[in-house]
Amino acid sequence: MKILWVNSGLGKTFSNTRLFGIPPALRRYGDESLVLIAGRAASTLPDYFLSLPLPLGKLGAYRRLLTVILPFLCLKYRPEVLLSDWMSARQMAGAVLLRRLGLLRCRLVHDVRTVPVKEDQGKSWSVYAGSLEFARRHFDGITTITEPLREEICRQFDLPPDKIAVWTSGVDVNHFQPKEAPADLRRELGLEGKFVVFYHGSVNENRGVLELARAAEHLSDMDDLRLLILGGGNLWKDLEATVRDGRLDKVVLKPGVPYDQIPRWIALADLCVVPLPDHPWWRVSSPLKLMEYLAMGKPVLLTEMSAHRAVIPDDDQAFYVSEATPEALAQGVRRAREQRDRFAALGEWGRRKAVQELTWDRQAEILRDYLHDVVGNRVHLREGRK
């Protein structure tokens, strides 16, 4: 089976980690993937990536370009499945037309990995809803990242739940595995002899990252503490201002790095944090970075939320805090620091769980079975609607 992944974002962004995990797993089953991505080709990208120009450096221009050239790429590569991400369903209008004309024989599947912040009533929500509505009318299948998200989509868009598959986040346990922290990087960052609390990922609205930085205000007595934040996003300048204006000298900020470099940064951590607030759009998520931390044998500090409990239901296997506030996060760091003697056992448990339950191979198996059902006409999205 040949799959053409249509992606709306940049190859270098954290949100595209699934594209590094699932296609190699599918390849082991004999399925071929080609991933369309915005940005320049790079030697660090896998050989199945096809980088397309980013006109004027604007993602909007790239998406318009994608709409135009996708039909030609379909005719060239002849995929059996076109798989769009949460924003790009309407970029496949040309493929829909080619199918109606009998010039293209492939199945269309829409994959939803995330939910925009609906309360903002911004463009992202409009694109998200528009893509789902387009897929509802024209596509053969839909997949989502969690069972709660499937339930929400079915309720909002009048879709039959038994026609929608769920495959969650996963982790490459060979890429993310326990290792010694690089001495040169630790020295470069001034982290020698420090207790390192770590976060990596998007620095955007409602992710708890600014609150995590401000937790340092309540930890000024912990001389050996360093809070390392690796990432980027539209609140990065706000984060820098928070650290600068608050004179939070225990906080170390570094811009995001390519996927292949992330493990050496996680290796620096004594404690890893996922500070997401308990908001509706995170409750339906599958926290990727949590799985990466577990695979690398790191103890984790988590906010109380159903998405986190779905991965670690037991209080004994993680340090939970009640909410994503600076005060609560600071208390969690203190509690974890006081129980540092448990870190090795927690790390071993997390690694074992990742290897046994959280691999991309397992998720690829679920996705592959569903796509084969779609290709084999055993799934018909437009049947069974209310």
**The predicted structure's pLDDT at residue 39:** 76
Q: Look-up: residue for tokens 């990995």?
A: 113
Identity of the amino acid at 213:
A
Give the β-pairing of 195-202 and 164-166: unpaired
Q: Which of 233, 166, 283 is nearest to 9 (CA)?
A: 233
Q: What is the DSSP letter of 146?
A: S
pLDDT at residue number 78: 95
Neighbour-count burial for 163-189, b at 16+ CB within 10 Å, e otherwise: bbbbbbbbbbbebbbeeebeeeebeeb
The confidence score (pLDDT) of residue 14 equals 45
The Cβ of residue 102 has, within 10 Å, a number of other Cβ atoms equal to 7
Q: Domains in the chain, please, with CATH?
A: 2-170+360-375 (3.40.50.2000), 183-357 (3.40.50.2000)
Pull the structure tokens for residue 15: 């949100």
- Ramachandran area for residue 193 (φ above 0: left; ψ -120 to 50: alpha; else beta): left
What gap in Å lies between CA 222 and CA 334, rounded to an integer? 9
**Spatial CA neighbour of 226 closest among 198, 244, 250:** 250
Kindly state the helix (H) or strand (E) to which residue 309 belongs, with its residue range: helix 306-311
Tens digits of pLDDT across the chain (386 residues) = 999 999 876 655 445 788 888 999 999 999 999 999 887 766 678 889 988 887 777 777 888 888 999 999 999 999 999 999 988 899 999 999 999 999 999 999 999 988 876 554 567 788 889 999 999 999 999 999 999 899 989 998 989 999 999 999 999 999 999 999 999 999 999 999 999 999 999 898 889 999 999 999 999 999 999 999 999 988 999 999 999 999 999 999 999 998 889 999 999 999 999 999 998 878 888 889 999 999 999 999 999 998 999 999 999 999 999 999 999 999 999 999 999 999 999 999 999 999 999 999 999 999 999 999 999 988 888 665 44
Tracing tokens 């600014």 back to the chain, one arrives at 210
